[in-house]
Amino acid sequence: YAKDAKREISRCEAFYHLCYHSTKHDSVCYSLCLLLLTAGPHHEQIQIAEDAVGFSYATVFSRFLDGSVISVDIEDPYVRNNHQVYNFLRFCELMVTAHSVKKMNLVTGLSDDYGGREQQMSQINEIQHSLKAHGIDLSVSYSDTLHDREIRFSNGWIVKIGRGLDYFKPTKGRFAIGFCDFNLRPCHETTIDIYHRTETVKPP
């Protein structure tokens, strides 16, 4: 344990010095930072307070999109209602801007009523077709037993959010600050746990 702790401290110190002494946030520094973070077991926790701002999807997820991510798996039981499907669409737009993602897999729950179910499936099908035009294949499956929320990137990063993608509050009006820029959108209280896959693999 002492050896593991020492290695973790050394890795964190190296990460700190690299970022602190960097004169600009170029792609080389960014890649090296990610390399240091993935050098061993990693667990990070972010607490989002009630009404906190500054947690758009770009802010939370962009650092994991290092150019090596080919596929993304999303498990979220609540991509059902209109605003939840819009949230998923915004996440998809971020994946498009990563330029390396070619495959996305969504597992979610079906809406409780038949009319809502038809609308949900129609909206997600529309997202599928739109992603296809940007070179990304989206596969969708539905589960009545899914509970946990988890997003897995093919480069090993795993992000678990207590509320899934649905952690934003509605604004007080359609012309209120935060309606378009989600970095300015107040959030519900939730916890984000970030792991690297080496943290989750059990030894044989």
Asked if the model's pLDDT at residue 2 lies above 70, the reply is no
A 10 A CB-CB count for 160 gives 17
Round to whole Å and give the CA distance between 198 and 120.
35
Q: Which two tokens stand for residue 111?
A: 């809406």
Asked if the model's pLDDT at residue 191 lies above 60, the reply is yes
HSE value, Cβ hemisphere, 13 Å, CA-based, for 72: 28
pLDDT digits (tens, 9 = 90+) for 23-73: 444 554 555 555 555 555 789 999 999 999 999 999 999 999 999 999 999
Asked if the model's pLDDT at residue 150 lies above 70, the reply is yes
Average pLDDT rounded to a whole number, residues 130-144:
97
User: pTM score > 0.75 for this model?
Assistant: yes
End-to-end CA distance of the chain: 19
Position 198 scores a pLDDT of 63
DSSP string of 98-167? HS---EEEEEEPPPSSHHHHHHHHHHHHHHHHHHHHTT-EEEEEE-SS----EEEETTSEEEEETTTT--
Round to whole Å and give the CA distance between 162 and 148.
8
Asked if the model's pLDDT at residue 145 lies above 90, the reply is yes
Per the listing, tokens 């509320």 go with 163
Q: Which two tokens stand for residue 90?
A: 């915004």
Least confident of 36-40, 84-88, 106-110: 36-40
